[in-house]
Amino acid sequence: MIHIENIRKVYRARGRTVTALDDVSLHVAPGEVYGVIGRSGAGKSTLLRSVTMLERPDRGRVVVDGADLSALSERELRAARQRIGMIHQHFGLLSSRDVAGNVAFPLEVTGTPRRERLKRVAELLDLVGLGGLGGAYPAQLSGGQKQRVGIARALAGSPSVLLSDEATSALDPETTGSILALLRRLNRELGLTVLLITHEMDVVKNICDSAAIMHDGRITEAGGVRELLARPGSELARGLFPLPPPSARPGTTVVDVTFTGEAAEESPTRFVAALARTYSIDVDILAGSIEDVAGGRAGRLRIELPGSPADNTAPLAHLRERGLTLEVAA
Amino acid sequence: MNGLDEILVQALRETFQMVWVSALLTAAGGLLLGVLLILTGRGGLLPCLPVNRVLGLVVNVGRSLPFIILMVAILPFTRMVVGTTIGTTAAIVPLTVGAIPFYARLAETSLREVDPAVVSAARAMGASRWQIVRKVLLREAMPGLVAGLTITVITLVGYSAMAGAVGGGGLGDLAIRYGYQRFETDVMIACVVVLVVLVQLVQMLGDLLVRRLSHRQP
């Protein structure tokens, strides 16, 4: 649905150059929720703004729903943007217009007749759970309500793609949860493809099917969330299920076990118990967390086995056979 | 006292005429100039620094000239526009020319206050530049634009007092000619009272409008 191919963007200001996007490629499949995660300054915002050419990349191509946006004229580009929804960290609502007026804005831009506009606005407000609030002004709304207005406005043109620029970063955790649930629902019910950028691992954990990690203008990891979790040394796995820094006591082996896919459907404690029974060893659980991610259970567990790693080749091989990803921490 | 009433009403009428015509022209001209300054400026929707610099220079020159000097300096221009250099109509030309740069800066400041995120959101929705100017910049800045216009109108009332120099008449002129030059203190006081009430009314009307237009947090 969205194909970003080898885009590059360099900013020059007062003799300094900053490479915001360094040969970035990204492919978002139709109907999925794709998250790009990274620290501030990693280039995420530039990436998202490049998708609609709000920021024109120096090189590379962006194809959305079959249209190569990088090749369009300004006029054609405006028409293309009208078919892409976007929501923003600070909502971007017009303070001079009430809620209904804000949602109607993109419809006015496309020249939709008034009668049709009113009907569509009412539908959209119901869809995002703001029915009855059409006459309120943004200043009277909570952050969560404002973002719901932003979402309703983004959907006004019935887009197939929704771009989310840190849409929950200005919200408290509870409101974040409700906005993410709304995005998930819209993704499922309308078949909406979502590309979001965030610095919160929780957002990825909650709603993303696929994810990419960005550092200094480059994508360092990308793919399905569950595949990434199963990849040894995955930064995403460490980020989603953080464990404290390992501190192995001498004569022991500390192993970080990542559960995904089928292996995670069985209770992790059962692995530990089976391990202890089969090899007659004491297995300690030092830390761990297990949650539902991308529609299945996943988690990480740090366990401690007696003896050096060399002594534990058999138990470790046993765990690997059962489909678990292992990282020997010490 | 009947005579005083008559000349006061006549002077008030002249002040009104000078101020409202020049205010109307200033609102249009100043707003246009303010929008152009914002559009052509760094990070604007139509960035063009040379044009921006020239406009900025014009505004600054206009702002730095004392009104009385400006009025005399543009006499040839005034004659070209209205065909005369004397009278109330002739005073409207320098009043407008003097107030446009003043209001342009105030308008520019208000337009600059518009949340860039809103402009960016409008661009992302595929709005054209003209749509953004009309539906976003001007609408969002409206309370500030009206507050600026209120200040401008009050400044115009002040400038119009100097219009006596070109035979424009008005309250200021009356105060100088009768009150000061003929030592008729009661005329002077009456003029001042009427001016104070006039300014007060303009300010109140402006504040009321701003409150009506503003939907931001109180």
Q: What is the pLDDT of residues A134-192, one digit of tens each?
A: 999 999 999 999 999 999 999 999 999 999 999 999 899 999 999 999 999 999 999 99
Residues A11 and A135 in one domain: yes
Tokens of A232: 């040894």
Domain match, A246 and A215 both:
no
Residue A49 CB burial class (10 angstroms; 0-12, 13-18, ≥19): buried
My answer on whether A36 and A134 are in the same domain is yes
Number of independent structural domains in chain A: 2
CB pairs below 8 Å between A and B: how many? Answer: 74
Give per-residue pLDDT as tens, A256-303.
Answer: 888 876 666 677 777 888 888 888 888 888 888 888 887 778 888 888
**Closest Cα in chain A to B121:** A92
Does the residue A236 lie in any domain?
A: no
- Do residue A84 and residue A211 come from a single domain? yes
**C-alpha B166: how far from its chain's center?**
19
Q: H or E segment at A28?
A: strand A16-28
Is A235 contained in some domain?
no
Q: If DSSP states are collapsed to H, E and C, what string results for A150-190?
A: HHHHHCCCCCCEEEEECCCCCCCHHHHHHHHHHHHHHHHHH
Residue ranges making up the domain that contains A217: 2-230
Task: Indicate the residue of B118, B126, B217 with minimum beta-carbon distance to A81.
Answer: B126
Q: Give the CATH number of the domain where residue A169 resides.
A: 3.40.50.300
- Residue A113 and residue A160 in one domain: yes
Considering Cα of B56, then B61, then B64, then B68, what sign does the dihedral take? negative
Of A95, A147, A157, residue with least CA distance to A123: A157
Q: What are phi and psi of A131, to 5 degrees?
A: -55, 135
Q: Which residues pair with A329 in a beta bridge?
A: none
- Residues A186 and A269 both lie in one domain: no
- Residue A94 — pLDDT band, cuts 50, 70, 90? very high
Find the mean pLDDT for residues B97-111: 95
Q: Backbone phi, then psi, for A257, in 5-degree steps?
A: -105, 125
Give the CB-side neighbour count of residue A266, counting CA atoms within 13 A: 11
The pLDDT-based confidence of A248 (bands split at 50, 70, 90) is low
From chain A, the residues in CB contact with B216 under 8 A are: 95, 139
A196, A208, A209: which is closest to A87 by C-alpha? A196
In terms of domains, do A206 and A286 share one? Answer: no
Residue A82 and residue B131: Cβ atoms within 8 Å?
Answer: no
* Average pLDDT over chain A, rounded to an integer: 89
Looking at the fold, whether A164 and A134 belong to one and the same domain comes out as yes
Q: What pLDDT is attached to residue B85?
A: 85
How much of chain B exceeds pLDDT 90, in percent? Answer: 58
Query: Which CATH number is B64's domain given?
Result: 1.10.3720.10
Does B218 reside within a domain? no
Predicted confidence (pLDDT) per residue in B131-168, tens digit: 999 999 999 999 999 999 999 999 999 888 887 777 77
Query: Which among A54, A97, A138 has CB closest to B120?
Result: A54
Note the pLDDT tens digit of each residue in B177-206: 887 888 888 888 888 899 999 999 999 999
Of B115, B124, B140, the CB nearest to A86: B124
Does A68 share its domain with A104? yes
Q: Do A54 and B123 touch (CB under 8 A)?
A: yes
| CATH number, domain with residue A311 | 3.30.70.260
A186 within some domain: yes
